[in-house]
Structure 1
């Protein structure tokens, strides 16, 4: 699987005005160390709807697979439904269809969020009308909270480990999409600067791991 393309139609129409989405700072990269080692960084682990429910520690083996239905990222005001995504003819990750700026996507042939492995979710940064669901992904900080509500009624709660930006021709497929021994999550959108000729030059990727579970398993009617 290769990186998806999220064309910046809004920026193409507006030219080179100062409207480019936020990009992650060097402090949010893996090389800068965990947030706990940086003074003044506390994250937002107690914010969000799942934080107000009784949260449990996740099982060591992760949760059983269950499809995601909604994603919330309180610190950047994301609250969006989730659709399935497959691969395009060129084996790149599909993206949500245009027209709905508040829609995220999950790679349906991969790991379910909360299960052991690497779950992948993607969203547009903008469209011809303006910012879209993951416009502010580059503004995430280490320690930020991501909540993914699943079909089984549980909410998988993740903590951001790092936010990085990669040029298209240097995208680290294995680092982003490779298997993980614990439940992890990748959030992907466009970034890395913008050109009117080619669109965005790269992608912003947020890396997160499962830290808690809220809610109960939904019981199906007989």
Structure 2
């Protein structure tokens, strides 16, 4: 399987992972998704410790993030004609996707998972992603009956125009995971202003 290499895939379009239309009929004081704090964006000084050995490649089937009550199936995502990452169907609120031409979660390299923050009806699968804390656990079930267990190193938010493709999508010498959704504040005229990105690395596995 082709890995995400030096030529990173284009940034996820902010509009694609959340419309914010439902916010127009609710209070934006209580309706906007949480955003990462500055502290969660700083690198974890212990992030290099506890890294697990890579797993053999196997497509993922489900992602669980207990701290924010995520338990969702995963579908394969490809690239659009413009080179950006495609997204799951907006109507499927509890569905996330993974970049199936890249690294499978648990294998050496950078695996990418993306999902909607909301749709026209309200919050979606990764609505609370910005509230995730460093040290939280992300579990990914795989087709080979193993579960890859990741530990969150940082949670950051980037504006669309300054999205760091290489940092987010670049190759890694160890098994890492990126989880992406819309964020960066919401404007009625332009929609979401950027993306929330979770950085995590493999720290364990079950079923091996």
| TM-score, scaled to structure 1 | 0.83
* Conserved 8 A contact 1:154-1:215: yes
2:133: which partner in 1? 141
2:6: which partner in 1? none
- Equivalent position SS for 2:102: coil
Distance 2:202 2:146 in 1: 13
Distance 1:191 1:203 in 2: 5
Matches within 5 A, 1:1-222: 1-5=9-13, 6=17, 7-14=19-26, 16-30=28-42, 33-34=44-45, 58-59=52-53, 62-216=54-208
* Conserved 8 A contact 1:24-1:139: yes
Distance 1:15 1:90 in 2: 35
Distance 1:215 1:204 in 2: 31
| Unaligned runs of at least 5 residues, structure 1 | 37-56, 217-222
Distance 1:10 1:137 in 2: 18
Q: CA deviation at 1:79?
A: 0.2
Distance 1:27 1:167 in 2: 18
Q: CA deviation at 1:119?
A: 0.1
Q: CA deviation at 1:144?
A: 0.2
- Equivalent position SS for 2:204: strand
Label 1:122 to 1:133 Cα distance change in 2 as closer, same or farther (>3 A): same
Q: CA deviation at 1:23?
A: 0.2
Q: Any idea what the Cα deviations from partners look like across 1:1-54, whole Å, max 9, x if unmatched?
A: 1122323232244474531100000110125x4479xxxxxxxxxxxxxxxxxx
2:4: which partner in 1? none
Distance 2:34 2:183 in 1: 8
Distance 1:214 1:147 in 2: 10
CA RMSD of aligned residues (A): 1.6
Mean alpha-carbon deviation: is it higher for 123-132 or for 3-12? 3-12
Q: Any idea what the Cα deviations from partners look like across 1:131-181, whole Å, max 9, x if unmatched?
A: 100000000000000000000000000000000000000000000000000
Q: Any idea what the Cα deviations from partners look like across 1:86-111, whole Å, max 9, x if unmatched?
A: 11111111110021100010001110
* Residue correspondences, number: 193
Label 1:16 to 1:139 Cα distance change in 2 as closer, same or farther (>3 A): closer
| TM-score, scaled to structure 2 | 0.88
Q: CA deviation at 1:196?
A: 1.1
Distance 1:15 1:196 in 2: 12
| Unaligned runs of at least 5 residues, structure 2 | 1-8
